[in-house]
Amino acid sequence: MASLNRSRTKLSGAVKLRRRAMKITAMNIYQVDLPLHEGSYKWSGGKSVDVFDSTVLEVQTDEGITGYGEVCPLGPFYLPAYAAGARAGIQELGPHLIGQDPTRLGPLNDLMDRALKGHAYVKSAIDMACWDLLGKLTLQPVCELLGGRYGDDFVLYRAISQQPPAEMAASVKQYHDEGYRRFQLKVGGNPDEDIERIHAAREILEPTDKLVADANTGWTIHEAARVVRGVRDVDVYIEQPCASYEECLSIRRRTDHPFVLDEVIDGVDVLVRGCADLAMDVVNIKISKFGGLTRAALARDLCSQLGIAMTIEDSWGGDITTAAIAVLAHSTPPKLLFSSTDFNSYVTVSTAEGAPQRVNGRMSASSTPGLGIEPRMKVLGGPVITIE
């Protein structure tokens, strides 16, 4: 009985300690350029980026614990998101969040939705930083808070920037030699050339390697129909051939290739619809498209229940985004984790210490509290916006 009373006293003390809510006291917004090792990144429609414009967010609290998040749109012409808009949106939301408890992630996300309709990407860095805070407060890695890690590591894919077929095949070989076994080939251009690209890349690979032909919405229906017919005998996944869900569904019904949806996947409603329509075998869950880790994890868990395989990623980013991708990917059941990505290996600037690093085409989430990263403040420089 004495032991039971001591336990109750300890529990009561712990509860009392947490009755006082942590409060957000300030936010600092940093802008950082992320140049690419390869010089540029090219995909459908002639789109390309040489330097990514990333936004890093620092959330300070009255308990002296600080959390960090990042959002980095893939230029202003990929999705309804752009870098300056991320910073302006956080500046708009910030005053509503001062004084709020960052560890109450449900109410915090609801408040953000009331204060700013839509613009999920704006909310992503905030939600990410709050998960970092929660992990640090509870002394747990965010990977464990999101369900717990599976195994020692997880598989990565490598995106192959759009180039002439022979050059893309050479890039596939280079990264295959570095340990990657899954490749996302950027197509969505001239159908004849895309057919050649797919054949050339597949010839480089081993039978157990996986190849995805990612059109990034770049084909019209008739062009997509020609491509899937032209690679009928090739072992390849077809990803987001056309702009709309309906157009993609029409191509899905014309081919027996495994099918991936990406750009149209921006909420649980389309996941449910896609499951009912048998519209895809794999979906790409980009953290910023869902508004952060909270709702990306909800989508992940729904897909797990529905038996839909997933690529866990984001639009782009550096070390902090890579750390966030890693905690969500590593806590995803391996049989449903199709792949993930290591954006920090694509860029020449490191913005944080402790970020996960790829090893032979695989990666693991941090085992330290929070996201496991510590920003390099000399790289970030001074904040471009402060909210108090």
- Report, as residue numbers or ranges, the catalytic residues: 186, 286
Looking at this protein, which amino acid is placed at residue 330?
H
**CB contact at 8 A, 129 and 59:** yes
> Going by DSSP bridges, is the β-strand pair 41-42/48-49 parallel, antiparallel, or unpaired?
antiparallel
> Which residues lie closer than 8 Å to 303 by C-beta, 6 or more apart?
271, 283, 285, 309, 310, 336
Handedness of CA 155, 161, 163, 167 (dihedral sign): negative
Give dist(CA 340, CA 368) in Å, integer: 20
Give dist(CA 74, CA 51) in Å, integer: 10
Which run of H or E residues covers position 381? none
- The phi, psi pair for 264, rounded to 5°, reads -85, -5
Residue reference for tokens 């995805």: 212
Which run of H or E residues covers position 190? none
344 DSSP 8-state letter: G
**CB contact at 8 A, 103 and 132:** no
Residue reference for tokens 């050479």: 170
Tally of residues, the chain: 388
> Going by DSSP bridges, is the β-strand pair 385-387/24-35 parallel, antiparallel, or unpaired?
antiparallel
> Going by DSSP bridges, is the β-strand pair 237-239/210-214 parallel, antiparallel, or unpaired?
parallel
Token pair belonging to 234? 């090739």
